[in-house]
Structure 1
Amino acid sequence: MLNIADTLHRWCRERRPFALATVVDVTGSAPLPIGTSLAVDEDGDAVGSISGGCVEGAVYELCRQILHDRGAPRRAWFGYSDDDAFAVGLTCGGELDVLVQRVDPATRPHLGAALAETVEGRPAAVAQVVDGPDRLLGATLSVLGDSWIADDALAAEATCRTMADRAAAQLRAGRTARVSLGADADTCPEPLSVLVHTAATRPRMLIFGATDFAAALSRAGRFLGHHVTVCDARPVFATAARFPDADEVVVDWPHRYLSRTTVDARTAICVLTHDAKFDVPLLRLALDLPVGYVGAMGSRRTHDERLDRLREVGVAEQKLGLLHSPIGLDLGARTPEETAISITAEIIAGAHRASGLPLARLNGPIHRDSGVVPESARHA
């Protein structure tokens, strides 16, 4: 649902009821991931998409019906129709499991609050029950900062604290995912399947070295949704004018800046200086941090010499194995722009544990899955 946060936030602010259709499970090569939503208001206005066009008409009519009947949440399944490519089905060959429910913002103010946080670019998560007992189907809980709020329908449920904990964990990871909560007498008496929608802060890309390659990589990183920082110790090169696509340009020694900034498991560190006096102290620190990617530019000879220097300063072989060097995938890249694509392709492949090989050489699916209080109360 967070893919259409802007419109849903406005509808919640206006207390306008709407039907929400959400992809809660995907099999095969479906066009859009779980958590993607389409919504329809009482005037028939629609926003969003769940299939890139394949089944939108059928889902729209189902949304209209649930709004008109004020009915209970319903599940719908859409798959490929071999007999008629124009029938309601996914021509890409995948299968979608969709939950359609009526949402009244007046009874779920926490949902509007979570959408507001998302629109403002702050982290938030919404946990939505997508499988379980009928009385809980479609119930939601929002995690806002260090607190959480739930629907009244969940107020008496022992499972709510467990839902909140799992939603908070997914928010820290920055990943929308479906999680199972299973039949624990104390924390989750009934098995549930919960879809956790997350809107995390943008992952960081730290680029060290104020070069033409850094300028191209900052453009590519920004395009992919990263918060981009370019850092170099030379003030004549590290200027905002040279890097208009970077969110910030820092003049400092690379290792000193890295030691004082914040990183997490989604952070990508790209070392483009290929100068030992910068690289060695920087990589010594970077390889000891819990980040998602560390890559360093240079020839194979430079790489071998760099490894020797890192060993000399005490970096263990296990840590050296985390270093992507020479940086990037083998695309035959020559120009700064081509190299930026090579680097970002490697970052994407690593984040999804993908091979980086041509899809034509692979088999299988293209897309892979790499306590409660009343509505008015908050828990820290």
Structure 2
Amino acid sequence: MRDLLSEYERLTAAGEPPGRAVVTSVWGSAPRAEGASMLATRDGTIAGSVSGGCVEAAAAGEIAAALERGTPRLVTFGVSDEKAWEVGLACGGTIKVFVEPEIRPEVLSAARGPGGEVVATVVEGPMVGGATRVREDGSVHGDLGPGIPHDAVRDAALAALRRESSTTLTLDTPGGAVSVFLEVFPRRPRLVIFGGVHIAVALVPLARLLGYRTIVADGRQSFLTRERFPEADDLILAWPEQAFERIGLDRSCYVCILSHDPKFDEPALKAALRSPAPYVGAIGSKKTQAARRKWLASEGFSEEEIARLHGPIGLDLGGRQPAETALGILAEMTAVRYGGSVAR
């Protein structure tokens, strides 16, 4: 939904507040994942996509019908559904789409906010449309209705937030089965680079394409200029400890230590490996990495803490140009972020 905020504002300002369709469940090879959204107005103007083009016309028609009746509805498109073939879902997948006559305030607030929360919405069963917000600290705001086990919803929402993946939870209640859609709004990931070297120059624009906020820090002024990093969101001239303290390393941070200089690398590693950052990678050969791990052990780091270090940094794609190395780093970060394979 975040990517459609500007379109929502434009349509609303034009006097055509849109309804929304959001994918809540996917089976098979449907082209878009849970959480993919589409907006549509009464006059047929659309923005976004729920299927990569397969069922957009049908989804727009469902939104128009929801706008007319004023109530939400869960709709299924799949290969076993004759209508789905008519509208073009021939890729072999099945999707469920929750269609609403408006974008609810809790969804708008979550989409506009900094992230780190889940909007849980009843999409099937009693109390359809009931919603609650689950924050990353475990706090719950709102009520889904009687009989729904709120602890189960909270725990599933927090697990979905950690995976950064929206999903649907089915629960048994005294009133019957209930489906709750967990729409995840993660914090925007932050790429934190220490060392404004040539690989960092290539890495920043690639990371921005994937939605990362990019921060480059270095203790050397000559490495940290706007000419070298015109697209970086923030440049910080400081030693590692001061830079990381200013940034505030948390679970949104993906740390790349590229300085290749022990006086920077060592304090950077000590700070990053004991932070909540899910990814810490450091440049250097296999020989350098072995010596680095031995040094970390002598500094009191546990085997588990040392195992968090990705080094040599990045997946080995075979290329050695700065942009190719940067691509390998970003590929490894992506695998860690979504639970993919990082086997070397």
TM-score range relative to shorter protein:
0.7 to 0.9
Q: Is the 8 A contact 1:181 1:191 kept in 2?
A: yes
2:188 maps to 202
2:297 maps to 311
Which of residues 167, 174, 179 is equivalent to 1:178? 167
Q: Is the 8 A contact 1:206 1:229 kept in 2?
A: yes
Residues 323 and 137 (structure 1 numbering): CA distance in 2 closer, same or farther, change over 3 Å?
same
Residue 46 of structure 1 deviates from its aligned partner by 1.7
Q: Which amino acid aligns with 1:47?
A: A
Residues 128 and 100 (structure 1 numbering): CA distance in 2 closer, same or farther, change over 3 Å?
same
The whole-number CA distance in structure 1 between the counterparts of 2:230 and 2:241 is: 23
- Taking the TM superposition and a 5 Å limit, the aligned residue runs for 1:131-142 are 131-133=124-126, 136-141=127-132
The whole-number CA distance in structure 1 between the counterparts of 2:220 and 2:162 is: 34
1:271 aligns with 2:257: yes
Residues 181 and 59 (structure 1 numbering): CA distance in 2 closer, same or farther, change over 3 Å?
closer
Q: Deviations over 1:315-367 (max 9, x none)?
A: 2222211111101111012111111100000111111221258xxxxxxxxxx
Q: Is the 8 A contact 2:124 2:179 kept in 1?
A: yes
Identity of aligned residues (%): 34
Q: Is the 8 A contact 1:2 1:197 kept in 2?
A: no
1:64 maps to 64
Which of residues 249, 253, 257 is equivalent to 2:243? 257
The whole-number CA distance in structure 2 between the counterparts of 1:32 and 1:88 is: 16
Q: Is the 8 A contact 2:8 2:17 kept in 1?
A: no
1:20 aligns with 2:6: no
2:90 maps to 91
2:119 maps to 126
Secondary structure at the aligned position of 1:236 is classed as: helix
1:101 aligns with 2:78: no
Q: Is the 8 A contact 2:74 2:124 kept in 1?
A: no
Secondary structure at the aligned position of 1:129 is classed as: strand
The whole-number CA distance in structure 2 between the counterparts of 1:335 and 1:231 is: 22
2:43 maps to 43
1:240 maps to 226
Residues 282 and 182 (structure 1 numbering): CA distance in 2 closer, same or farther, change over 3 Å?
same
Residue 86 of structure 1 deviates from its aligned partner by 6.7
Residue 87 of structure 1 deviates from its aligned partner by 3.7
The whole-number CA distance in structure 2 between the counterparts of 1:242 and 1:339 is: 17
Q: Scaled by the length of structure 1, what TM-score is found?
A: 0.77
Residue 167 of structure 1 deviates from its aligned partner by 9.1
The whole-number CA distance in structure 1 between the counterparts of 2:221 and 2:71 is: 63
Q: Deviations over 1:45-84 (max 9, x none)?
A: 2222111111222222233333334465242222379x99
1:366 maps to none
The whole-number CA distance in structure 1 between the counterparts of 2:241 and 2:319 is: 28
Residues 320 and 167 (structure 1 numbering): CA distance in 2 closer, same or farther, change over 3 Å?
closer
2:267 maps to 281
Give the gaps of 5 or more residues in structure 2: none
Aligned length: 342
The whole-number CA distance in structure 1 between the counterparts of 2:41 and 2:111 is: 20
Residues 191 and 14 (structure 1 numbering): CA distance in 2 closer, same or farther, change over 3 Å?
farther
Give the gaps of 5 or more residues in structure 1: 358-380
- Taking the TM superposition and a 5 Å limit, the aligned residue runs for 1:210-249 are 210-249=196-235
Higher relative contact order (CA 8 A, sep 6+): 1
Q: Which amino acid aligns with 1:177?
A: S
